Amino acid sequence: MRGVVFSGPERPLELAELELAPPRPGEVLVRIAAAGVCRSDLHSRQGDWPRRTPLVMGHEGAGTVIEVGAEVSGLAPGDHVVLSWQPACGRCRPCLLGLPQRCQLMASLVAPQGVLYDGTSRLSRRGETVYHYSGVSSFAEEAVVPATGAIAVPADVPLSSAALIGCCVSTGVGAVLWTARVEEGATVAVVGCGAVGLSAVEGAVLASAARIIAIDPLEQKLQLARELGATDALAARSTEAVGQVRELTRGGADYVFDCIGLSETVSDSIRMLAVGGTAVLVGLPAVGQEAHFSPLEVGESERRIVGSYYGSCRPAVHFPYLAELYLQGRLRIDQLVTRRRPLEEAEAALDDLERGREIKTVLEPGAARRA
């Protein structure tokens, strides 16, 4: 099978023929139908987040189960699944507490080592080990993943939209519903209207927020934000938007979601807050970046700064829930997919994202073969 191999920040991506070993106990083999290109892939390509290489890229994807390993229950060949990049080990304390996004084995073994839970990789190239990316590696025709990272969803959800449930939709909607637990009538500002920010806008609609202020310098993104339910759209960078948000909300927003994760967007998000407001850090910066804020202002106004990882979602419960909302027309995902490309064009898709040309490109491994 073929996959997109990343060998280091200065090296071009390569679509290579790879060997994929069959699933071991607790694992499943999935034929990838769609893989979303996400900002985290850009961070990886730029070397912002060190990873063991060579690896097969991609952490957002959906497809069809082809084979299940021993000790797997609840999944069968033919099932449509959304892949999760935080597959619960099911044994560590956070997993037992129902917080798989904090899984200790993911953080200490699977993600940094580029392996699956038994400490080895199923991927190789002419006998040389190739590593997994966060237990997913979806920029490929097939993937072997932990069964806890393959969540069955109804077959009537198109797989290109289902793929987005695996990262940007859960991250954005979840930040609002499950990290911040925004209450009805609250005022919300969203900094950055890429696929995650737009999903946060949708989350705020689901939470019945009174006012949803979308902030992005690009008009094309704001237009989509309005279509998805933003009540106000500010064509500005975060620093320019601080005063406008404070004015529109008469003193500051109850919740601000920073979906960018730069030093200045973090600081500006905190400055946009009302007394008692909560800044939710959703977008992830490069390793080593820091942000500044006034502890006096945060302290005396009882503002809160909260981190959100994977929207605090529990994939086994929340992926099927988000799929259900999609089928009912209460969550729109198709609109986020602005481009489809074959695997051969992974590099170009990342360039597009870097330059803000597309909201979400979906790679379709089967596309070239069908053509």
Candidates 38, 130, 248, 333; binder of Zn ion (CB under 5 A) is 38
| CA gap 74, 30 in Å, rounded | 15
Among positions 72-91, residues that touch Zn ion (CB under 5 A) are: 89
HSE (CB half, 13 Å, CA atoms) of 114? 22
Shortest separation between residue 219's beta carbon and Zn ion, angstroms:
24
φ, ψ for residue 75 (rounded to 5)?
-130, 145
Shortest separation between residue 99's beta carbon and Zn ion, angstroms:
9
| CA gap 28, 116 in Å, rounded | 11
Q: Binding marks (x or -) toward Zn ion, 127..166, rule CB under 5 A?
A: ----------------------------------------
**64 and 80 in contact (C-beta within 8 Å)?**
yes
> Residue 100: helix, strand or coil by DSSP?
helix
Among positions 213-232, residues that touch Zn ion (CB under 5 A) are: none
Shortest separation between residue 97's beta carbon and Zn ion, angstroms:
10
92 in contact with Zn ion (CB under 5 A): yes
Nearer Cβ to Zn ion (103/336): 103
Q: Binding marks (x or -) toward Zn ion, 93..122, rule CB under 5 A?
A: --x-------x-x-----------------
Nearer Cβ to Zn ion (38/213): 38
Q: Per DSSP, which regions of the chain are E strands?
A: 2-6, 14-17, 19-20, 27-36, 55-56, 61-68, 80-83, 123-125, 128-130, 142-146, 150-152, 187-191, 211-215, 232-234, 253-258, 273-281, 304-307, 337-341, 360-363
Rg (CA), the chain: 20
Q: Binding marks (x or -) toward Zn ion, 273..292, rule CB under 5 A?
A: --------------------
Judged by CB under 5 A, how many residues of this single chain contact Zn ion?
A: 8
Residue ranges that bind Zn ion, judged by CB under 5 A:
38, 40, 89, 92, 95, 103, 105, 167
